[in-house]
Amino acid sequence: MKTLKIFGWLSHFLWASMLLLTIFFGILVYSEFTSTYSESWFIEFMGKEIQNDSKKTYLLTFMLICFCIYSLYFYAITLFNLCVRKFEKRIFFDHSIIKRFRKIGIIFISNYIAVLILGKVFSIHSGKEITSSTDFSTIVLEKLDSPLGSLIIGFFFLVLSQVFKEALKQKQENELTI
């Protein structure tokens, strides 16, 4: 049970840090809405270079889609936190937990598909001269794809192992009762 408490604290910390990052990312997107800096970006959409008059629209579309993906990750972590709280109360097999796990799975699958499509459709560089250091779209999509997914999936399996360990204990206790 001590392990579940540790996972609860870790998932709460992850939730709080993602909330702060959501606020920061929201401010970043808002600042792009109000700036005129977007004309210096090199943007390709489906292999075609975007002209200066449409660059801001494409850049903002990309950033808003990334913000939505990030927000869905945040929602998945919130659902995960709610499941961990139930586990801490020794409620392991509940319909709400099953529904939440299903939603989390759907979120991760849809985010994976969205990031994959965005990576194929958009190519955004922060300057006209294309180098690996100016590749904005790839850097953002890698951050959305790898660490968040790996972390939550890792937590998911660790919590599941604890749940089944607890279920095995309860099963053995039930077998001993007459």
Which range has highest mean pLDDT (57-66, 144-153, 166-175)?
A: 57-66
pLDDT band at 172 (very low <50, low <70, confident <90, very high): confident
Give the residue from 38, 37, 20, 33 showing the smallest Cα distance to 74. 20
Q: How far apart (Å, rounded) are the C-alpha atoms in residues 117 and 50?
A: 18
- Write out pLDDT tens, residues 46-85: 778 877 777 778 878 888 888 888 888 889 889 888 988 8
Portion of the chain with pLDDT greater than 70, in percent: 79
Bridge partners (DSSP) listed for residue 135: 125
Bridge partners (DSSP) listed for residue 45: 48, 122
Global confidence as pTM:
0.72
pLDDT band at 8 (very low <50, low <70, confident <90, very high): confident
